[in-house]
Amino acid sequence: MSIKKISKTQPELFDFTKENYDKIKIEISKYPKDRKSSAVMALLNIAQMQYDNWIPLAAIKKIAEILTMPYIKVYEVATFYSMFNLSPVGKYFVQVCTTTPCMIRGAKNITEACKKYISQNQNELSENKICSWTEVECLGACVNAPMMQINQDYFEDLDEEKTEEILKKLLNDSFPEPGSSKKRTSNAPEKNRLTLLEVKNA
């Protein structure tokens, strides 16, 4: 759960593109006819992807209408999960995990770099208006901590130097290569395996 800042500036209307209505149809078809509200998170995600990485209140209303759900129920979901942004973020939105495993592996170096290169405070745009950052809870990549998410991609095994390199690229409007900065595949050991040596491909 995260504290949400709802944008004071809101568009009056929102509608999905035709292409996104096709995606919505597919998402709804995954659930029984009387359970279409189960597609609410998928639809919020589609709205966010369509609307520059944030969800205006008009989109929440539109989703409630499509799923025949009370507006407040869609609003509750949108405000509960940190993955949904309810106010504008940068073209490059940096989410830094600061939960315990990342914290003890140096997440503070990452937040300090964000303060230095992007903006002193979270949820503020960088001077050139293309980047913003925020702290979030565990993103499920603890084994390669510390890490951050930029838009849809994960950047793992970070240190101060690597983080600064990534942020500088973003500020130059170029997207860095995602993944582990130590080139680990998934959660492979950093050096040679010490366990399960008898198991092939463990």
Q: Which is nearer to ligand FES, 47 or 97 (CB)?
A: 97
Structure token pair of residue 105: 């592996």
Q: Minimum Å distance from CB 70 to ligand FES?
A: 33
* Beta carbons within 8 Å of 45's beta carbon, 6+ residues apart: 83, 84
Q: Minimum Å distance from CB 153 to ligand FES?
A: 14
> Is 92 exposed, middle or buried, given 0-12, 13-18 or 19+ CB atoms closer than 10 A?
buried
DSSP per-residue codes, 84-99: S-SS---SEEEEEE-S
* Beta carbons within 8 Å of 174's beta carbon, 6+ residues apart: none
HSE of 82, CA atoms in CB hemisphere, 13 A:
18
Q: Which is nearer to ligand FES, 78 or 139 (CB)?
A: 139
Q: Which is nearer to ligand FES, 100 or 128 (CB)?
A: 100
Q: Minimum Å distance from CB 20 to ligand FES?
A: 30
Task: Answer for the pair 46, 12: CB distance below 8 angstroms, yes or no.
Answer: no
What 3-state DSSP class applies to 150? strand
Structure token pair of residue 65: 């209408």
Q: Minimum Å distance from CB 9 to ligand FES?
A: 32
Structure token pair of residue 2: 């995260």
Q: Minimum Å distance from CB 118 to ligand FES?
A: 19
Q: Which is nearer to ligand FES, 60 or 166 (CB)?
A: 166
Q: Minimum Å distance from CB 74 to ligand FES?
A: 27
Q: Which is nearer to ligand FES, 26 or 188 (CB)?
A: 188
Q: Which is nearer to ligand FES, 43 or 102 (CB)?
A: 102
Nearest one of 142, 131, 119 to 166, comparing CA atoms: 131
DSSP assigned state of 35? G
Note the residues at the interface with ligand FES (CB under 6 A): 97, 99, 101-102, 138-142, 145, 147
